[in-house]
């Protein structure tokens, strides 16, 4: 009996963490402006829940219970730390506000969006925004985040701590920016979510559970932003883009674990449910008439999905979309993709000419997809020597062994 009660409590606590962690932390942090202290208080409250719930049962409102305990812990902490300072009034004010929310009468207001804007504030280092969001909104620990971002746990912990103290010392606000600056600031929130997704995505075999989970967590964050800002087309665009990519996860590997490029994937392996959701989101975003990077990228994915019915990607649409993305971002990555699309329409020579035009961009020298694209186009044009050289460069730059094997097979086929 005791054992099953303990298990039920653990399950309830775990569910409360998943559902409420970000909400509770956002509420505490917005009141206190101290993310680290709020985290400590919440962690203690969760530990208390694990000790208490097996004995006295799971409370009617787990969120209110946790908030009440976190509030007490927070005030204890703050008293210890600021015993010398005359922060009494301030503390009483916080205590009253928190008590009201913790009484369970009022619904705890959802400040998660405000917390996300704080985590993705331009005053913080761009590289720490995604990890910070994963930790504060989802409650992931530093070690898990560090593993996903291929950084040592100690270094990640330190960088997270620095970012949190910058938030409190510099007075970074916890609020959704005004209309005038919302677009730009929202973009940095979306960028951070996409960075988390890309980290999860870069383990295509899905063998590392932590990284695969990261893609799922990013989608969860994307859904959250869409539910809180349903009228922002770029938020919808980002979610559509992530769902399109996620829909193809299984098709990226064959039964032997070998890499399968998009053009050779079996559309039957794509997740039709996720694609349908992505298409609906993109349609909604399109109706709002404010195009942006994420919508365009999602639309590219959408033009590839056409292959399910038409047997071929809509390359002329893809080319137009990359043209628009190029105008918007000037990114060499976009230019490489555009050249590949051009080759599909006008032939390999046109694609090679477009890639040649990019040669002066140093950023491409170590960009694997540039060399893989060159190799593919030279092979199609029958220039074996140039293709061989480009494949060698692409293989040397690739870190995923499955993709390396794939490129190597293509290279050998040149001589076959």
Partner 1 sequence: MKYMLLIYSNEAAFEAAGKAQVEEIIGAYQAYTQALTKAGVIVASDRLQRSPAATTVRTADGKTKVLNGPYAETKEQLGGFYMIDVPDLDAALTWAARCPGASHGVVEVRPVWAM
User: Where does this chain bind partner 1 (CB under 8 A)?
Assistant: 121, 123, 169-173, 177
- Give whichever of 155 and 170 is closer to partner 1, judged by the CB atom: 170
Interior/surface letters 146-166, b for 16+ CB within 10 angstroms, e for the rest: bbbbebeeeebbebbeebbeb
CA 188 from chain centre, in angstroms, equals 12
- Give whichever of 123 and 262 is closer to partner 1, judged by the CB atom: 123
- In whole angstroms, the minimum distance from the beta carbon of 183 to partner 1 comes to 15
- Give whichever of 10 and 33 is closer to partner 1, judged by the CB atom: 33
Interior/surface letters 45-65, b for 16+ CB within 10 angstroms, e for the rest: bbebbeebbbeeebbebbbbb
Q: Which of 196, 169, 217, 176 is nearest to 37 (CA)?
A: 169
- Give whichever of 83 and 256 is closer to partner 1, judged by the CB atom: 83
- In whole angstroms, the minimum distance from the beta carbon of 173 to partner 1 comes to 4
- Give whichever of 169 and 360 is closer to partner 1, judged by the CB atom: 169
- In whole angstroms, the minimum distance from the beta carbon of 122 to partner 1 comes to 8
CB atoms within 10 A of CB 90: 13
- Give whichever of 47 and 85 is closer to partner 1, judged by the CB atom: 85
Rg (CA), the chain: 25
- In whole angstroms, the minimum distance from the beta carbon of 179 to partner 1 comes to 14
- Give whichever of 164 and 374 is closer to partner 1, judged by the CB atom: 164
- In whole angstroms, the minimum distance from the beta carbon of 104 to partner 1 comes to 31
Say how far apart CA 389 and CA 375 lie, in whole Å: 8
For the CA atoms of 257, 259, 265, 271, the dihedral, rounded to the nearest 10 degrees, stands at 60
- In whole angstroms, the minimum distance from the beta carbon of 126 to partner 1 comes to 16
Q: Which of 143, 146, 148 is nearest to 202 (CA)?
A: 148
Q: CA 119, 121, 127, 130 torsion: positive or negative? A: positive
- In whole angstroms, the minimum distance from the beta carbon of 93 to partner 1 comes to 16
């Amino acid at each position: 009996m005791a054992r099953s009660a303990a298990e039920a409590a653990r399950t309830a606590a775990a569910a409360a963490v998943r559902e409420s962690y970000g909400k509770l932390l956002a509420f505490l942090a917005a009141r206190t402006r101290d993310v680290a202290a709020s985290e400590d208080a919440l962690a203690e409250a969760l530990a208390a829940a694990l000790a208490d719930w097996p004995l006295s049962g799971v409370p009617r409102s787990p969120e209110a219970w946790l908030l009440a305990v976190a509030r007490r812990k927070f005030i204890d902490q703050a008293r210890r730390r600021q015993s010398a300072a005359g922060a009494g009034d301030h503390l009483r004010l916080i205590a009253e506000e928190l008590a009201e929310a913790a009484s369970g009468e009022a619904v705890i207001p959802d400040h998660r969006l405000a917390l996300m804007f704080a985590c993705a504030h331009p005053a913080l280092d761009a590289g720490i925004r995604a990890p910070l969001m994963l930790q504060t909104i989802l409650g992931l620990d530093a070690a898990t985040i560090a593993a996903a971002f291929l950084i040592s746990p100690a270094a990640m912990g330190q960088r997270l701590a620095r970012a949190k103290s910058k938030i409190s010392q510099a007075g970074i606000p916890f609020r959704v920016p005004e209309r005038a600056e919302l677009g730009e600031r929202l973009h940095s929130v979306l960028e951070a979510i996409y960075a988390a997704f890309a980290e999860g995505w870069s383990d295509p075999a899905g063998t590392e559970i932590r990284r695969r989970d990261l893609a799922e967590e990013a989608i969860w964050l994307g859904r959250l932003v869409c539910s809180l800002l349903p009228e922002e087309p770029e938020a919808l665009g980002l979610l559509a883009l992530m769902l399109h990519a996620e829909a193809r996860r299984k098709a990226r590997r064959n039964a032997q674990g070998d890499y399968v490029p998009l053009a050779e994937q079996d559309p039957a392996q794509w997740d039709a449910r996720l694609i349908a959701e992505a298409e609906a989101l993109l349609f909604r975003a399109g109706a709002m008439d404010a195009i942006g990077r994420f919508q365009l990228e999602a639309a590219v994915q959408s033009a590839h999905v056409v292959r399910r019915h038409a047997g071929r990607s809509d390359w002329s649409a893809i080319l137009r979309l990359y043209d628009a993305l190029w105008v918007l971002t000037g990114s060499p990555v976009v230019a490489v993709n555009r050249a590949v699309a051009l080759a599909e329409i006008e032939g390999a020579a046109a694609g090679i000419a477009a890639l040649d035009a990019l040669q002066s961009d140093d950023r491409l020298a170590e960009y694997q997809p540039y060399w893989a694209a060159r190799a593919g186009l030279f092979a199609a044009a029958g220039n074996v020597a140039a293709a061989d050289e480009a494949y060698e460069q692409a293989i040397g730059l690739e870190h995923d062994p499955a993709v390396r094997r794939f490129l190597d097979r293509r290279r050998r086929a040149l001589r076959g």
